[in-house]
Amino acid sequence: MVKNKEAYLLGELEGTINMVNGHEKVVERLAREDISHQEKIAHSVSPNERYFWLVQLQQIDYLHEEEVKKMTDLSAEEANTEVELMEQLFITQENKEELEAILKKPDGHSVRVIVDAMKGNKIDEQIYHNGAILRNQCMKFGEKREEIVNEITEETKQSINCPQHVAYLDAFNASLKSIIYPWQKITRAMKSVNRQTTTAIAQFKLDTISLNKAIHKFVTEEPVPGMKIELSSFL
């Protein structure tokens, strides 16, 4: 529908566009001739030659002014109509670009639920970094992990009719929490600028092992059959 509207508007504006483009080409040619004639005047070797090129330059300037007038030689009503059509065309082309972008990267219901849950808990996506959650936002996510994961799970369940799929979702929820909890503890320790105690260092090691095991279990004992996730070479 948007493409059809764009085609219609381009058709309505075709005469104006062609007229303006035609006048622009003439104006550009006259501008080039103007520069050329000014150079010839500057390099004239006699008064007669200089006078000749001055007359030619005046004629070009006159033609230039006439072409500019023709480009804007519309009645007030015609000008208003053309402006409205151009504005509609601009908006239509913007809408077309936005819709094409959406069609290239559609978001399903679950994606919208996740984004809404993140925003609701004041977790910002850093769009300039491919939508990743970065830096302090990671810490916020870790602190709100229970609320976020539970909210996403409960909201997603509303659109699931199959009991087996609900069971898969619950299993996925449990696996995710087993990963997020030690990950959050590790991240908090790594961001600390304080000297760590022997007990904290020992706990950091245990949390790292727990995270490693949780990830391994998530991959090898898929909460949802057919996920086919491979173990990463980097933790």
Please give the biggest Cα pair distance in the chain: 100
Q: CA 165, CA 151: separation in Å to the nearest integer? A: 17
Higher pLDDT: 82 or 144? It is 144
pLDDT exceeding 90 applies to what percent of the chain? 16
pLDDT exceeding 70 applies to what percent of the chain? 80
How many Cα atoms sit within 13 Å of 37 on the Cβ side?
A: 18
Per-residue confidence (pLDDT) for residue 39, from 0 to 100: 81
Residue type, 18: N
Residue type, 201: I
Confidence of residue 27 (pLDDT cuts 50, 70, 90): low
**Ramachandran angles phi, psi of 229, nearest 5°:** -90, 135
Q: What is the mean predicted confidence (pLDDT) over 168-188?
A: 90
DSSP state of 72: T
Q: CA 32, CA 25: separation in Å to the nearest integer? A: 11
Confidence of residue 87 (pLDDT cuts 50, 70, 90): confident
Per-residue confidence (pLDDT) for residue 97, from 0 to 100: 83
Higher pLDDT: 160 or 129? It is 160
Per-residue confidence (pLDDT) for residue 68, from 0 to 100: 63
Mean pLDDT for the chain overall: 80
Confidence of residue 204 (pLDDT cuts 50, 70, 90): very high
The pTM (predicted TM-score) of the whole model is 0.48
Scanning the chain, the segments in alpha helix (DSSP H) are 2-12, 14-42, 47-71, 76-104, 109-120, 136-143, 145-157, 163-191, 198-220
Which H, E and C letters describe 144-183, residue by residue? CHHHHHHHHHHHHHCCCCCHHHHHHHHHHHHHHHHHHHHH
CA angle (105 as vertex; 222, 155 as ends), nearest 5: 50
Q: Where are the domains of the chain?
A: 2-104, 109-220
Per-residue confidence (pLDDT) for residue 71, from 0 to 100: 58
Q: Are 196 and 184 in contact (CB under 8 A)?
A: no
Which has the minimum average pLDDT: 65-74, 78-87, 135-144, 150-159? 65-74
Examine the pLDDT at 194 and tell me if it is beyond 60. yes
Examine the pLDDT at 206 and tell me if it is beyond 90. yes
Q: Are 208 and 185 in contact (CB under 8 A)?
A: no
**Helix (H) / strand (E) containing 64:** helix 47-71
Q: What is the mean predicted confidence (pLDDT) over 24-37?
A: 74
Q: CA 157, CA 15: separation in Å to the nearest integer? A: 56
Confidence of residue 114 (pLDDT cuts 50, 70, 90): confident
Q: Are 201 and 173 in contact (CB under 8 A)?
A: no
Per-residue confidence (pLDDT) for residue 8, from 0 to 100: 79
Q: What is the mean predicted confidence (pLDDT) over 167-177?
A: 91
Q: Are 182 and 211 in contact (CB under 8 A)?
A: yes
